[in-house]
Structure 1
Amino acid sequence: MVSDSSRQSSPSRPSTLSRRSALAGLGSGLVGLGALRASDSSAASESNAAARSNAGSDPTLDWPMARYDAAGTGYDPDATGPKDGAKVKWRREPDRFSGGTSSPILLGGTLYATGRVLLALDAATGETRFAHEGSYRSSPAGSAAEAYDTETLATAAPRGVYGLNAGGGLRLFGRQFGVERWHGPGREPGFSVFGPPTVVPPVAVGGTVYAAVPGTKHVAALDASSGRELWRASPGDELRRPAVRDGRVFAVNWPSRATAYDAATGERLWRTDLGEQMVLAPTATREGVVVPDRTGVTLLDADDGSVRWRADHGGNATEGAAAVAEGTVYVQSATGGRLHALDLETGEQLWSAPDFSEGTPVVADGVVYGRNYDELVALDAADGSVRWRYESRVPLSTPAVGDGTIYLVAHDRLLALEEDR
């Protein structure tokens, strides 16, 4: 095996210090660490109780990160969304929420989204539970945090990776305290002729967060409780969202490289150079690693990185990722505007549907939900026939799917769509 530029970090002091620092401005006589822990537990209990009381919602049915899981499949076998038609269940335009295009996530009956603020909404009603200002740009990833009573939301910003309190911390004098638990590695990116820096969403497995470190060529594993760096490796420029499955981290980067690392140690397992320069975010599956690129899709062997098959779609994709469900790969292309369904084992095209821009589809209960700029289109997963369309008139995020409901971010608003009966 080839060694990479990875390292093991030294332990840091317990992460409870971050709670003290969060309350430092309040004065030692006002509130201490114990009060914040109590509020953490209280917030979690209230959130869970509210979720349980929401008729028709299942608080255990989560969509904990962008594209559902760390493997990036975009598929929850237990989730359901609108199948035969869709109508607005609720629509919200919260104060200070703006510029949101990152996918929302769903945890325990709470919907979280980033758009100049971290926003937490009641998933059933759309009512705001808390909002916290910050430069958070990526979709959050929910992770178990051993040191806390509530989960950590890992999110990325131009200056680094942040761990946030999913319970919202403590509210005093009209402000939230204790939301930010830690600030992980990162570096302020310099000027680029290509526009604003891309912020890649982290993924989480157990108590570990795996993230492309903003402003660097690195991918790192971080402790979800403290942000302590467990290892770091250097795949290269323009990293995409990593995929994690079966103890391996798969990373791709410009111009044409795919790399696999041991998830526990950061040791490099293999590296493959693909023929296409514009490689997109990978999806890890039982058959191998699905890597879309500008003109097609490649399946790599997860053990050694060898090419198992290659399928060309003739498109010109510069963003997005593939969804994988029940042995089928779903991927969108820009040129010609199509969504393609490919057999996971062979790469054979099963069907192709028109009127799509590039993007990232998701799948639930036999339905593929694909984004076409300002339109969400629901297709039958078996044959690609259109079930329904929803037009928003503003760009839409990749959706999150829950118990009969789809959740979307649309610039300065959040939407919940349900079955139109």
Structure 2
Amino acid sequence: MKFTKETRNAGRGRRDLLSVAGAALATGLAGCSGALERDGDGNGNENEDGNDGDSDSGSDGDSTDAAELRETLAAADPYRMHQYGPSHVGNAGGAGPTSDVDAVWTFREGADDSHYEIGTPAVVDGTVYVPENHSVGDDGAETVVYALDGATGEIEWEWTYPRGTAFGSTVVAEGAVVLGLGGSVVALEADAGTERWRLERDFSDAVTVADGTVYAINTTYADPPTLVAIDLETGRERWTEPLADERMFWPTPPAVADGTVYQGGVELTALSTADGERLWSKDFGNAVTGPPTVTDDACYVPLGDGTVAALESDGTLRWRQSVERGGRGSGLHPVSSPAVADGTLYVTSAWRLTALDADDGAQRWTTETAGDRPPVVADGVVYASGLNVMEAYDGAEGDRLWRYETDASSSSGDKVAPVVGETAFFPSAGLHALRGADATSD
């Protein structure tokens, strides 16, 4: 099953351009460099012209298959926000597809329009929540947030923001869908798509939700930029705290764990969730390029000089390790937000995927990849995605397991392809629900 509509993104203002520029800093301009070369790996994922992302549902008309998939997705651990939760560990908590994949459905098809944009989805209780930009009339644009049936891609509800704009990762928590859109933070009711509240400032599109609080950055044009804690139920401010003074600030989504907010930008700042009190800050001499990943005993920070730093809970440096980068992209050396599982850290840097020992930063393996976005891990398999390619790798050795391609030619932002219920949801010229070919051929 697929849904198609000619789309393009228009009307981005100064704040939206800055948001895209900040994402480019964090990704080394990776998302806007055009289609990557297809290498024809022989895994059965490409036809003569390459996989164009037009796959119809493999179970079209088969209500039994759809019901089984819906049940599987509803029972799986959810993907609520960037890297699964407020601590951003990037671990799915269940299995994903390990062999060649097919699209069981594709929502929209934006490959014919270079201005089309679809965001990182959230997947909760069998429903997929995702924002999309598309054109309206001859020269207008709007952003629409959709709730989709995770088994079929059919629309359950939609909510329209009146202009096309940049957006961050979708967040779903405590019955609300939360997004940064066009300088606003918007909360929608997850079951109906009605607006709960909207707070209009000059917010970055990077938001995180934890324990009933939305954390958002009143952004670069604020003087100084501030972290704002917002009540998820009412939209009222709980507290604000300045983040950087007299310096350009590129905000990343905050990470939240054990009563502490970790905010990246020109430095890493740790604040109390109770009142915003600054606990400590760490200046690495280089910008933080993605949200930190927080585990029980460490905070892992990706940096713009091509290194990853591991900190103790009090901000003491445990180790700092250089990460190999691929040979493509800009001259920048940013590292993605890490995913952590079973004592191993997984990061991408300019089309290279690297596994590091979480205890000491030692490299375990590294390999070239078509993915440049933050990876995720599911049951020992690492999933890396990029502009028009998603790949899966054995987490222990780095061997590639499968590869899926689309015809996407442009995109922006630091998207993630989450894995939930043995299904990978790949945002690339539309949203593709990918499952193992054996599971889609019955």
- Tell me the TM-score normalized by structure 2: 0.72
Displacement of 1:186 after TM fit? 2.0
CA gap 1:92/1:380 in 2 versus in 1, 3 angstroms: same
Give the distance between the partners of 2:366 and 2:398, measured in 1 at CA.
Answer: 7
Q: Report the AA paired with residue 201 of structure 2.
A: G
Equivalent in the alignment of 1:417: 434
The answer to whether 1:88 aligns with 2:103 is: yes
CA gap 1:273/1:93 in 2 versus in 1, 3 angstroms: same
Do the aligned residues in 2 keep the contact of 1:185 with 1:213 (CA within 8 Å)? no
Query: Quick check: 389-398 or 217-226, which moved more?
Result: 389-398
Do the aligned residues in 1 keep the contact of 2:229 with 2:237 (CA within 8 Å)? yes
Give the distance between the partners of 1:56 and 1:88, measured in 2 at CA.
Answer: 18
Q: Report the AA paired with residue 84 of structure 2.
A: Y
- Determine which structure has greater relative contact order: mean sequence separation of CA pairs < 8 Å that are 6+ residues apart, divided by chain length: 2
Give the distance between the partners of 1:282 and 1:368, measured in 2 at CA.
Answer: 18
State which of 85, 100, 108 in structure 1 corresponds to 2:125.
108
Give the distance between the partners of 2:277 and 2:83, measured in 1 at CA.
Answer: 26
State which of 217, 222, 233 in structure 2 corresponds to 1:225.
233
Map 1:274-293 → 2, pairs under 5 A? 274-277=284-287, 279-293=289-303
CA gap 1:58/1:91 in 2 versus in 1, 3 angstroms: closer
Do the aligned residues in 2 keep the contact of 1:143 with 1:209 (CA within 8 Å)? no
Do the aligned residues in 2 keep the contact of 1:290 with 1:297 (CA within 8 Å)? yes
C-alpha distance after superposition, 1:183-240 (max 9, x if no partner): 125227xxxxxxxxxx433121231112223454121211111111111112121111
Displacement of 1:311 after TM fit? 0.3
CA gap 1:58/1:375 in 2 versus in 1, 3 angstroms: closer
Equivalent in the alignment of 2:140: none
Map 1:164-183 → 2, pairs under 5 A? 164-169=188-193, 179-183=194-198
CA gap 1:53/1:229 in 2 versus in 1, 3 angstroms: farther
Give the distance between the partners of 1:356 and 1:278, measured in 2 at CA.
Answer: 23
The answer to whether 1:248 aligns with 2:260 is: yes
Map 1:116-195 → 2, pairs under 5 A? 116-134=143-161, 135=163, 137-144=167-174, 151-169=175-193, 179-184=194-199, 186-187=201-202
What 5-or-longer segments of structure 1 have no aligned partner?
1-50, 145-150, 170-178, 189-198
Map 1:10-409 → 2, pairs under 5 A? 56-61=71-76, 62-77=78-93, 79-93=94-108, 99-115=116-132, 116-134=143-161, 135=163, 137-144=167-174, 151-169=175-193, 179-184=194-199, 186-187=201-202, 199-214=204-219, 215-216=221-222, 217-236=225-244, 237-254=249-266, 257-277=267-287, 279-294=289-304, 295-303=306-314, 305-315=315-325, 316-318=332-334, 320-334=336-350, 337-394=351-408, 397-409=415-427
Do the aligned residues in 1 keep the contact of 2:344 with 2:356 (CA within 8 Å)? yes
C-alpha distance after superposition, 1:291-320 (max 9, x if no partner): 1112110111222x1211000124343473
Displacement of 1:52 after TM fit? 7.5
Give the distance between the partners of 2:307 and 2:357, measured in 1 at CA.
Answer: 14
Give the distance between the partners of 1:159 and 1:279, measured in 2 at CA.
Answer: 21
Give the total of aligned pairs: 339
CA gap 1:362/1:54 in 2 versus in 1, 3 angstroms: closer
Q: Report the AA paired with residue 418 of structure 2.
A: A
Question: Identity of paired residues, percent?
Answer: 31
Equivalent in the alignment of 1:46: none
Do the aligned residues in 2 keep the contact of 1:161 with 1:185 (CA within 8 Å)? yes
Do the aligned residues in 1 keep the contact of 2:241 with 2:276 (CA within 8 Å)? yes
C-alpha distance after superposition, 1:42-83 (max 9, x if no partner): xxxxxxxxx987555241421111211101111122x32211
C-alpha distance after superposition, 1:17-53 (max 9, x if no partner): xxxxxxxxxxxxxxxxxxxxxxxxxxxxxxxxxx987
Displacement of 1:117 after TM fit? 0.6
Q: Secondary structure at the match of 1:67?
A: helix
CA gap 1:332/1:277 in 2 versus in 1, 3 angstroms: same
Equivalent in the alignment of 1:16: none
Do the aligned residues in 1 keep the contact of 2:324 with 2:352 (CA within 8 Å)? no
Do the aligned residues in 1 keep the contact of 2:370 with 2:389 (CA within 8 Å)? no
Give the distance between the partners of 2:210 and 2:394, measured in 1 at CA.
Answer: 31
Q: Secondary structure at the match of 1:183?
A: strand
